Amino acid sequence: MGDCQQAMYNYEMALSIRAKYYPLPVSSCASLFGNIGEVLRCVGDIDNALKFYQRALQAWSSEASAYHPHTATIYNNMGLAYEANTNYELALQNYQKALDIQEKFLPPTHSDLALTFNNIGTHYYRKKSYKIALEYFTKALNIQLNSLHSHHPETAATYSNIGCIHIDEKNYEEALTNLECALEIQLKSNHSSTFITYHNIGSVYHTMKNYQLAIINYGKAIEFCLTAQNINYSQLLTTYNQIADAHKQENNIDLALENYIKALTIRLEHRHDDCLEIERAFDIIGNTCFEYGHISIALENYQKMLDFFSKNFPNHLNIANAHTSLARAHQISKNYHMALEHLHHALQIKITLLTSEHSSVGTTYNNIGEVYRKMGDHEQGKENYEKALHIYRKSLPPNHPAYAIIYQNISLLSSDHDE
């Protein structure tokens, strides 16, 4: 961002000085307008970027150069700007204008044509028109292989684009072939996209259930990301989650939990305002612990969740959810009094933040009844099951699955009592 601001300052100074002391050739003015538009687009000021692109086009038009290859560059950049604003049809129109000019004035193997083909291919890829997208990406690749050196980063990007199409089309062997071509090029220049390519290769192997190769490539992606100058923490936590899942599929549960915890740590340190995703991260760890009997880790995990939300979001429903999960862990450990304590905390929070007749409150009464049933206290069990049923009848439709659960629990209570 700092480089962009400095560039913007330099361009504005250049424009001001030249307007004051020198006659402005139209082409120079157009280039400055175009460059300023590029800086504005890069910092996300799309509306003003488009205004400068239009001024650049007007300047070129006044010099009878409306179809000069430079205008094709401006049309391409306008397309990228419209794409950033999710105005995809206008983006395509501008890419097509750029292509019309380039095909008229440039040789058929010029690298600028490849850039435009890639932009159009990306447009169709976004629309899931994979056949058309592949045609444009292939045209781009053929030009790049003929006009650029064999290890140019733009060629790697096109191989990667083609690989992504084959992933979506479930042509996994073709996907791997193209992604590995991209990777070979990127490794020669330590390109920033190397992380994404390793991750994508890992994802393909993951989908093919070749978990060991998935783990190897995810690991290389993580290693590359951690040595980058600017770490992309969003991508990093996604890869930790993916490698954790691959380890889980291989029954390496300790390694799975280790990587899930690393992903959670990144989320808490760098993306701590997304309550839903944070709770989901805690639950992934907790549910893995419950599935494989690591109850002490589950307790530690949900206590950490409770502490985090109590400190950062003191009036949030996630606190009740943390209490509920802690109660589940204590119930599995047959520590029923602690389970009840946490469920009563959850109940009070839900009544305060929701209403006393919300279905979620009914679910907590059901959970309390279940703990009393396990303790052999049938009277308290029945009382809480009936409270749950009463709330369900007021808050849920008659065919809701919650009724099946509550009636089954009441039936189990009767069976236990008869025994």
Hey, what amino acid is at 162?
I
Closest to 329 measured CA to CA, from 365, 360, 361, 303: 303
In a domain, 401, yes or no: no
What distances in angstroms separate CA 349 from CA 186, 298, 315, 322, 338, one per listed residue?
52, 22, 8, 11, 17
In a domain, 67, yes or no: yes
Round to whole Å and give the CA distance between 225 and 240: 11
Closest to 208 measured CA to CA, from 163, 173, 180: 173
In a domain, 83, yes or no: yes
Residue 66's pLDDT is: 58
Q: What is the pLDDT of residues 304-316, one digit of tens each?
A: 999 999 999 998 9
Tens digit of pLDDT per residue, the chain (419 long)?
Answer: 445 555 445 545 555 545 444 455 555 567 778 888 888 888 888 888 888 888 888 887 765 555 677 889 999 999 999 999 999 999 999 999 999 999 999 999 999 999 999 999 999 999 999 999 999 999 999 999 999 887 899 999 999 999 999 999 999 999 999 999 999 999 998 888 999 999 999 999 999 999 999 999 999 999 999 988 788 899 999 999 999 999 999 999 999 999 999 999 999 998 777 899 999 999 999 999 999 999 999 999 999 999 999 999 998 999 999 999 999 999 999 999 999 999 999 999 999 999 999 999 999 999 999 999 999 999 999 999 999 999 999 999 999 999 999 999 988 887 765 55
Q: Which long-range contacts (CB under 8 A, 24 or more apart) does 152-155 make?
A: 152/185, 153/185, 153/186, 153/189, 153/191, 153/193, 154/111, 154/114, 154/115, 154/118, 155/185
Find where tokens 């006659």 sit. 23
Range of the domain at 100: 1-106
> What's the pTM?
0.84
| Structure tokens given for 107 | 């040789």
**CATH of residue 44:** 1.25.40.10
Closest to 82 measured CA to CA, from 97, 68, 70: 97
What is the tally of structural domains in the chain?
A: 1
| Structure tokens given for 251 | 């029954």
**C-alpha 389, offset from chain centre:** 40
In a domain, 49, yes or no: yes
Closest to 325 measured CA to CA, from 293, 271, 364, 354: 364
| Structure tokens given for 334 | 């047959």
In a domain, 38, yes or no: yes
In a domain, 201, yes or no: no
Q: Which helix (H) or strand (E) element contains residue 182?
A: helix 172-189
Residue 165's pLDDT is: 97
Give the DSSP letter string of 122-160: HHHHHTT-HHHHHHHHHHHHHHHHHHS-TT-HHHHHHHH
Give the DSSP letter string of 25-76: -HHHHHHHHHHHHHHHHHTT-HHHHHHHHHHHHHHHHHTT-TTSHHHHHHHH
In a domain, 46, yes or no: yes
Residue 144's pLDDT is: 96
Residue 10's pLDDT is: 53
Residue 2's pLDDT is: 47
Residue 37's pLDDT is: 81
In a domain, 77, yes or no: yes
Task: Please state the length of the chain.
Answer: 419
